[in-house]
Amino acid sequence: MSSIQTTTTAFVTTAAPTTTVRNCRSEPDRQIFIETDAVTLSAALAGTLVCADEVVVASGSPDELMVAGEFAASIDAPLLIIDAASSEIRGELRRLDPTSITVIGDLLPGGVPPGTPTNSLSVAEATAAISEIAPDDVDRSDNLWLADATRPDLVAPVTAIAGLRGDRVILGDPHNLLGDQALLEAVRASSAEAVFVAGGFDPLIVEWQSAALLSAPELPGGGLKLFPGRRLVALYGNPLTSALGVMGEQGPEEAVARAAEVAAGYDADGVPVVLSFELIATVASAFSGDDNNYSEEMTIEVIRPWIDVAAANNVYVILDLQPGRTDFLTQAKLYEELLVLPHVGLALDPEWRLEPDQVHLRQIGSVDAAEINQVSEWLAALVREHNLPQKMFLLHQFRLDMIENRDQVLTHPELATVIQMDGQGPLGTKYGTWDALTAGTGNLGVFWGWKNFYDEDVPRGGATPAEVLGLQPVPVYVSYQ
């Protein structure tokens, strides 16, 4: 018997397994089976068994294969899917050495072990047989099998092997595993001890995704994926001075209340708002400093109280870097112990990225996509290695030349990459900058942000929430400086 769950239905219990004569079960030597071909996947899953007293062999449409998978689960058997060239399946069938084979569909396999009893069932007969077998009372494990909801033919052999093992099957879209709140809630409600993955998932990230579904801490506002589904509204600045933004005008507890005030109205389109702090962790400086980089690095001790208050109040924090003559990755690594927290993201401010012979305020700084990619690759690895939810990766830009080779900026599933238009001045000018920056970026794979300035914008304070929500693309991030 197995249980199958989609993100929109309750667990459905199929019928009871028969009693096996031999102890054919063994623990799989891996938890991830990446395969987009149903025939190959069925052989791989059957290969986790030492033997099998009963085997179901099937061909047909994806829906017909799903019936075969449920039937196989009901009789405690693996499912082997065959096609016209199933030599791999024939070999696997001989290895399993079954005492009984049930064939569902019209295509009979070659190489059936001589003398093995073979039964043939139509899809309708298999469907009827499932409903006639009473559920059993065998203790079931807490293990889950995550199957590809977009491919019923791949779900079928997973259903069979999970039923044989006494595990449960849950379905997820490979393109939105962490964005499916119902899937997350189902996994967490299952008390699963392990998640096996089988189907057409991304081999580069599915290990992180499945581990995150099982045990990663959730983001402020819930869930494991930042966008879409929420909007961050932030206060911007440095804790030590009010000259760099409103963050320095009060302590962290008061800043939470102030952020709530400015966030009012940003949920008018139905998107939930999460409060945020964008803290300038490294400040562009007129002085070279001991390290000659024209950037003053805040200590962890200065930033930590804000991080802690944010965690206690479901506030997301973004650490902003103004690196001067050093590179962004070098500075980002200074704050690794904060960036491994689930509610802390990272922002790069190219305006303050200097060449070796430059000083601030004599030119607008810039950064090449290659340097941005170094940071994003490092940050994405942190997310994977520390079992974290998706992390925000923010890029400031108000001129096209601030990010050189922008079309080569890489995005990562572990990161929600946002470009924020952070120019100041009359709203008409800012809207023009917005249009210039966002034009032709539909395939860039990024989200967009907007910044309001209390003193420098005209009118003072910048665009209203309604005006910001009227922008296209609609911003997922809004900050106030």
Beta bridge partners of 56: 79, 102
Written as one string, the DSSP assignment of 287-312 is: S-TTTTSSEEEPPHHHHHHHHHHHHH
Three-state SS at 345:
strand
Q: What percent of the chain has pLDDT over 90?
A: 75
pTM of the model as a whole: 0.89
CATH of 231-480, one of 1.20.120, 1.10.10, 3.20.20, 2.30.240: 3.20.20
DSSP single-letter state for residue 224: S
How many C-alpha atoms does 56 have within 13 Å on its Cβ side? 34
Q: What is the pLDDT of residues 82-135, one digit of tens each?
A: 887 666 777 888 899 999 999 998 765 565 667 778 888 999 999 998 876 655
One-character DSSP codes across 34-81: E-S-HHHHHHHHHTTSS--SEEEEE-S-HHHHHHHHHHHHHTT--EEE
Q: Where are the domains of the chain?
A: 3-215, 231-480
Q: Residue 348 above 50 pLDDT?
A: yes
Side chain identity at residue 426, one-letter code: P
pLDDT digits (tens, 9 = 90+) for 290-337: 887 889 999 999 999 999 999 999 999 999 999 999 999 999 999 999
CA distance 67 to 64: 5
Closest CA to 384 of 415, 411, 343: 415
| pLDDT tens for each residue of 137-147 | 445 677 899 99
pLDDT of residue 8: 35
pLDDT at 107: 61
Q: Which amino acid is at 213?
A: L
CA-to-CA dists, residue 376 to 94, 232, 348, 372, angstroms: 49, 20, 10, 6
Contact between 69 and 61 under an 8 Å Cβ cutoff? The reply is no
Q: What pLDDT sits at residue 112?
A: 67
**pLDDT, tens digit, for every residue of 427-471?**
999 999 999 999 999 999 999 999 999 999 899 999 999 999 999
